[in-house]
Amino acid sequence: MNKRKLAGLISALAFTPALAGAQTAADHPTYAKEVSRIIQDNCQICHQPGQIGPMSFTSYEEVRPWAPLIRMKVMEREMPPYQYDADIGVQHLKNDWRLSAEDIGTIVAWVDAGAPMGNPEELPPPKDFPAVGEWRLAAELGPPDHTIQSTPWNVPANGQDLWWEPEVDSGIAENRCIKAVETLPSKAAHGSTHHANSHFITQDENGEWVTYGRLSEFAFGKLGEKVPKGACRTAPANSKVGWSIHYYPDGKAVPNDQVTVGIWYQDEDFDEESAYPQDLRAYNLSGGGDFLIPPHGKLMTQGFHSFDHPVRLDSWQPHLHLRGVAMSMEVFYPETGRREVLSQASNWNAGWNHSHTYEDGYQPLLPAGATIILTAWYDNTADNPRNPDPDQWVGAGQRTTDEMSHAWIAVTHLDEAGYQKELEERDAREQRAMAAR
């Protein structure tokens, strides 16, 4: 059980109805005992001096003035920033930032009780955070085998948020299977590098440069990503890397800033022959065609994708622009007519980009012919707080003010034997769980 779940359980126990009758003012959660731990584990990585959070939450004195706003942001699940619905679809996610319902309840009860400090002796010791400017996967994997840097860019001290989208040579000479990737903002600009996505670009048979697949996705506070066991995601030779870096000036100018991606390759003894190929590509939500959202209007678009072999979906990352407000991924099984929601983000926010990576053994497994249904919803009315101008017609396009609709999905291409094997492993797990009950 992770710490967050444990803390949630403890606070849930503290509020069991049996105890509620005996509750006095002293039974309310306090900052010292419960809330400080939730803030440490879920907020301080960004909300401390020099990080991207606009205010620091490292002490009671710092947190207290924000208590009502914190209550609102956690209840609306806007903070921590991780827009993935809690009540539908696969809930086993790696590096899941969401607060448990119990933790949200604890914060709300604390604020409603007047946000008390409680007994300072119960405060936890300060938490250690990973050093900025260092690879977080290095502790486990050593330094990366290959690094790629974005073109230098002068980050101004102040101003609007900025997007920097250079292309660079990948420097990759031969196809290799990737074991892990991590994106590292510079130490100087770690407070202003909001997120940084990168993708491979390769030449097709006509010599045109086309997007090959995603390399890495980074949002502040994030660990790197490991490719699941037994899958080979290829780092393509003679490729380029396209960047999409979102800087948000934080008062400090950083000349010639560069973001770095590190790649760890599979070891020499990796059995590439028997590995299943995995790719991380963009799947569109509009049949590939154009669409138009009228002024003060709303729209829904869908995209359908299927494979002639069984697949495993390892991650899902919605991508929309400013009018996009929600996305879902469902699967339709033609043989039974069953339809199932796999993942949904009903409060999508273009300011944050997350690849939601399913835990091993919980990734959606699709038989050959099953159809993935991707649905996006757009709101071009004044009700959408991120809409810059509801009077515009909005079409599909690359600019931030155009609309976009795709989902990055990591797909492992299985064969019938691999598919059956995974099904059996999951059945066995279910059996064990049943027996343990």
The answer to whether the CB of 246 falls within 8 A of the CB of 352 is: no
CB of 49 to ligand HEC, least distance (A): 13
Q: Which two tokens stand for residue 82?
A: 């991780």
CB of 34 to ligand HEC, least distance (A): 13
Query: How far, CA to CA in Å, does 180 sit from each of 82, 115, 141, 261?
Result: 22, 42, 9, 11
| Residue 47 near ligand HEC by CB under 6 A | yes
Tell me, residue by residue from 345 to 374, as one string, x for binding to ligand HEC by CB under 6 A and - for no binding.
------x-----------------------
Q: Nearest CA to 109 among 43, 20, 47?
A: 20
| Residue 70 near ligand HEC by CB under 6 A | yes
In one-letter notation, the amino acid at residue 163 is W
| Residue 80 near ligand HEC by CB under 6 A | yes
**Per-residue exposure over 311-339, b if at least 16 CB sit within 10 Å of its own CB, e if not:** bbbbbbbbbbbbbbbbbbbbbbeeeeeee
| Residue 324 near ligand HEC by CB under 6 A | no
Residue from 29, 30, 36, 81 in contact with ligand HEC (CB under 6 A) = 81
The answer to whether the CB of 235 falls within 8 A of the CB of 178 is: yes
Q: Which two tokens stand for residue 315?
A: 């991650």
| Residue 104 near ligand HEC by CB under 6 A | no
The answer to whether the CB of 386 falls within 8 A of the CB of 331 is: no
| Residue 220 near ligand HEC by CB under 6 A | yes
Residue from 43, 178, 215, 410 in contact with ligand HEC (CB under 6 A) = 43
* Interface stretch with ligand HEC, choices 75-83, 148-156, 209-217, 325-333 (CB under 6 A): 75-83
| Residue 408 near ligand HEC by CB under 6 A | no
Q: Which two tokens stand for residue 337?
A: 């007519």
CB of 214 to ligand HEC, least distance (A): 20
Q: Which two tokens stand for residue 358?
A: 């399913």
| Residue 52 near ligand HEC by CB under 6 A | yes
Q: Which is nearer to ligand HEC, 80 or 418 (CB)?
A: 80
| Residue 101 near ligand HEC by CB under 6 A | no
Compute how many residues bind ligand HEC; rule: CB under 6 A: 20
Instruction: Give the residue carrying structure tokens 């006509």.
Output: 206
Residue from 14, 32, 35, 45 in contact with ligand HEC (CB under 6 A) = 45
Instruction: Give the residue carrying structure tokens 């809409």.
Output: 387
CB of 269 to ligand HEC, least distance (A): 37
| Residue 53 near ligand HEC by CB under 6 A | yes
| Residue 166 near ligand HEC by CB under 6 A | no
Q: Which is nearer to ligand HEC, 79 or 327 (CB)?
A: 79
Query: How far, CA to CA in Å, does 35 sit from each of 7, 77, 116, 309?
Result: 10, 17, 10, 49
Q: Which two tokens stand for residue 84?
A: 């993935």
Query: How far, CA to CA in Å, does 241 sit from each of 157, 278, 316, 338?
Result: 27, 19, 21, 40
| CA 110-41-160 angle, 5° bins | 95
Q: Which is nearer to ligand HEC, 130 or 152 (CB)?
A: 130
CA distance 261 to 245: 12
* Interface stretch with ligand HEC, choices 50-58, 143-151, 176-184, 418-426 (CB under 6 A): 50-58
Q: Which is nearer to ligand HEC, 84 or 212 (CB)?
A: 84
Q: Which two tokens stand for residue 213?
A: 């697949």
The answer to whether the CB of 352 falls within 8 A of the CB of 296 is: no
| Residue 109 near ligand HEC by CB under 6 A | no
Q: Which is nearer to ligand HEC, 245 or 372 (CB)?
A: 245
The answer to whether the CB of 388 falls within 8 A of the CB of 322 is: yes
In one-letter notation, the amino acid at residue 250 is D
* Interface stretch with ligand HEC, choices 20-28, 76-84, 272-280, 291-299 (CB under 6 A): 76-84
CB of 394 to ligand HEC, least distance (A): 22
CB of 65 to ligand HEC, least distance (A): 10
| Residue 31 near ligand HEC by CB under 6 A | no
Residues that bind ligand HEC (CB under 6 A): 42-43, 45-47, 52-54, 66, 69-70, 73-74, 79-81, 99, 220-221, 351
